[in-house]
A and B are shown apart, each in its own frame.
Chain A
């Protein structure tokens, strides 16, 4: 166990050690915010048990050694290193980031058509600084969360997508965030910024992947802005190395009648956590966030959802399932807040967990905070085993117990995946989950 002081030192040293590797963006407003973020790192409390957000686990192993931001963009990669694409390049836009840098050689380029932009954030800062200045870090998350602050202090690049009004992309966007260790443990810190103007529609598939099986530190902060009537389908497939630390923060701002649909698959990481925050900035918006997580093999997997209904007549659905086996631990925290004037809110959260081993642990905490009366809100949570009757049924048909367990566990996950109609995408997610308890 590290002392509070050692943890504090780890944060400050991580910033200091990597200072030279951080490229000055050349924009005073951005560097001023970066300085602010560094200041936050000194001020904010280190995650500890007494903070409700860190009640069940803190990334203690992360503090055991230093992580280094690579100085040069990685170039020694080829197409074969990215095995996870759902669609070939003819059917989706491919973008690759490796260890925190954009890799143009492996990415679909020349996507700038007029104001539309899909590509590197750093490049977009040069071509369209005003737009980015308008949206960047609007969530202000770096002022309250030390890991977001650290991400800000250490990030060199990220993803930037801007779709002007009523744009409908012909193909989905697939982004691969690849992390792997070089001579030293790598810190890969990325941002993404998505802005969909009114009526724009897009599908985004993000892959968090690795080559090899090493202990790197990947963190990702995403900010998504959906204009009026905009529609975003967002798939996040987290398949990091089983030795790695993975932290993501996703902040979604939804304007009137926009639709955000998201599926989150998390199977990787020794320690992984994703915080998803939705704020409605106009009425009648809907969000539908689903996910499947698995944890075994001494893994820790964590989702924190924070859905705040500040506007009337919005609808939110959260539906997550977890499969915990071996020596795995999973944490799920799902909060729905309905503010005073958010009448006609319709919010429902469901979390179901399968606990498959004596050494596994699940901690789940759904929360409702409701300050308006004309609302339809609820949540439901279960933790349990596979139904013995179902196992019996399969075995009575000659299927061995272990195969029966596997079939039923995958069936349990399938009840989330089946909502994705696209067969290739569905199959890719199912593969990812079934790869976790092969045998």
Chain B
């Protein structure tokens, strides 16, 4: 589904990703772990197509197309979703209006008609109920004045609503208390399916207790330095990142 080969990315002329390789198959859940500044979030944003990230070398093939050639919204319409670490606030933009526009944009890209308002409302309400997201938040402006936990749940609501083929979760656990973490994780788990792949970017192992990965990668200084199964995550929890950096250098 996704094949990243020798990816080099710079921000403001400073290299962040330095030859990253990663392959994700349909149905798999990959966790990418690593210390702060290792380039995890950069990878997530490059895949989503954010401006300001300069790909200096390498390729990203997503569902047999050159992902890097696609505009941000085209990637989304092709089924790539990024749940952001810091969901931006959109004052004045009603959450429901936004969700509906996003949902129908995807339908339009598949040459489907817009979903009628009543059916759409039912769909959103049901998803919101599952994520324990109060109805009132749907009526507010997107993320405006939401708590950290509410913002993250709003991200997962969009994930569920837009039902992507590849979901990237960027530090979705950061800033969540244990209850919110449980809700978010069960929302994500409900979306696991043989047709869908996920990349879970996280600093801590904690989230992986709830969302069990098939593969765990450790990223340091712009490379994936080690990959393994979920026991690698536990080992990291135990020993930190230091020993891997040393091994990587050695």
User: With A392-B51, A399-B101, A403-B101 as given contacts, are A411 and B93 in contact (CB-CB < 8 Å)?
Assistant: yes
| Alpha-carbon separation in the docked complex, A388 to B53 (Å) | 14
Interface segment among B70-78, B174-182, B227-235: the answer is B70-78
Question: A193: which B residues are within 8 A, CB to CB?
Answer: none
Q: Smallest distance from the beta carbon of A430 to chain B beta carbons, Å?
A: 10
Residues 49 to 80 of chain B near chain A (Cβ within 8 Å): 49-51, 71-73, 75-77
Question: A394: which B residues are within 8 A, CB to CB?
Answer: 90, 98, 102
B51 touches A396 (CB 8 A): no
Residue B106, interface by CB 8 Å: yes
Interface segment among A211-219, A227-235, A304-312, A412-420: the answer is A412-420
B72 touches A392 (CB 8 A): yes
Residue B97, interface by CB 8 Å: yes
Query: Contact string, B166-200, partner A, CB cutoff 8 A, digits 1/0?
Result: 00000000000000000000000000000000000
| Alpha-carbon separation in the docked complex, A131 to B51 (Å) | 65
Question: A404: which B residues are within 8 A, CB to CB?
Answer: 73
B92 touches A396 (CB 8 A): no
Partner of B105, one of A389, A397, A408, A415: A397
Question: A401: which B residues are within 8 A, CB to CB?
Answer: 71-73
Residue B31, interface by CB 8 Å: no
Question: A408: which B residues are within 8 A, CB to CB?
Answer: 90, 92-93
Residue A393, interface by CB 8 Å: yes
Question: B77: which A residues are within 8 A, CB to CB?
Answer: 398
**Which of B91, B93, B141 has the most chain A CB atoms inside 10 A of its CB?**
B93
A399 touches B93 (CB 8 A): no
Partner of B50, one of A392, A397, A400, A403: A392
Question: A396: which B residues are within 8 A, CB to CB?
Answer: 48-50, 72-73, 75-76, 81-82, 84
Partner of A400, one of B73, B93, B94: B73
Question: B98: which A residues are within 8 A, CB to CB?
Answer: 394, 397, 407
| Alpha-carbon separation in the docked complex, A392 to B82 (Å) | 11
Question: B102: which A residues are within 8 A, CB to CB?
Answer: 394, 397-399
B82 touches A415 (CB 8 A): no
B90 touches A399 (CB 8 A): no
Question: B50: which A residues are within 8 A, CB to CB?
Answer: 392, 396
Residue A395, interface by CB 8 Å: yes
Q: Smallest distance from the beta carbon of A286 to chain B beta carbons, Å?
A: 25
Residue A390, interface by CB 8 Å: yes
A393 touches B88 (CB 8 A): yes
Residues 97 to 147 of chain B near chain A (Cβ within 8 Å): 97-98, 101-102, 105-106, 109, 141
| Alpha-carbon separation in the docked complex, A392 to B81 (Å) | 12
| Alpha-carbon separation in the docked complex, A399 to B97 (Å) | 12
B162 touches A397 (CB 8 A): yes
Question: B97: which A residues are within 8 A, CB to CB?
Answer: 407
Residue of A nearest to B52 (CB): A388
A411 touches B51 (CB 8 A): no
Q: Smallest distance from the beta carbon of B124 to chain A beta carbons, Å?
A: 14
A412 touches B92 (CB 8 A): yes
Partner of A399, one of B49, B87, B105: B105
A398 touches B51 (CB 8 A): no
Question: B48: which A residues are within 8 A, CB to CB?
Answer: 392, 396
Residue B158, interface by CB 8 Å: yes
Q: Smallest distance from the beta carbon of B11 to chain A beta carbons, Å?
A: 14
Query: Contact string, A367-406, partner B, CB cutoff 8 A, digits 1/0?
Result: 0000000000000000000011110111111111101100
| Alpha-carbon separation in the docked complex, A161 to B55 (Å) | 67
Partner of B88, one of A387, A403, A410: A387
Residue of B nearest to A399 (CB): B105
Residue of A nearest to B105 (CB): A398
B101 touches A418 (CB 8 A): no
A397 touches B92 (CB 8 A): no
A395 touches B73 (CB 8 A): yes
| Alpha-carbon separation in the docked complex, A169 to B217 (Å) | 70
Partner of A414, one of B72, B73, B93, B158: B93
| Alpha-carbon separation in the docked complex, A388 to B101 (Å) | 19
Question: B109: which A residues are within 8 A, CB to CB?
Answer: 398
Question: A389: which B residues are within 8 A, CB to CB?
Answer: 88
B92 touches A414 (CB 8 A): yes
Q: Smallest distance from the beta carbon of B240 to chain A beta carbons, Å?
A: 32
User: With A392-B51, A398-B76 as given contacts, are A411 and B105 in contact (CB-CB < 8 Å)?
Assistant: no
B92 touches A410 (CB 8 A): yes
Question: A393: which B residues are within 8 A, CB to CB?
Answer: 84, 87-88, 90
B91 touches A415 (CB 8 A): yes
Partner of B73, one of A387, A388, A399, A410: A399
Residue of B nearest to A411 (CB): B92
**Which of A397, A398, A414 has the most chain B CB atoms inside 10 A of its CB?**
A398
B72 touches A395 (CB 8 A): yes
B91 touches A407 (CB 8 A): no
A397 touches B158 (CB 8 A): yes
Q: Smallest distance from the beta carbon of A183 to chain B beta carbons, Å?
A: 45
9 new A-B contacts, CB < 8 A, other than A388-B51, A395-B76, A397-B102, are A396-B81, A399-B76, A399-B105, A400-B73, A407-B101, A410-B93, A413-B92, A414-B141, A418-B92
Sampled A-B contacts (21; CB under 8 Å) = A388-B51, A393-B88, A393-B90, A395-B49, A395-B71, A395-B76, A396-B48, A398-B73, A398-B105, A398-B109, A398-B162, A399-B101, A400-B73, A401-B71, A401-B72, A403-B101, A407-B93, A408-B93, A412-B91, A412-B92, A414-B93
Identify the A interface with B (CB < 8 A): 387-390, 392-401, 403-404, 407-408, 410-415, 418
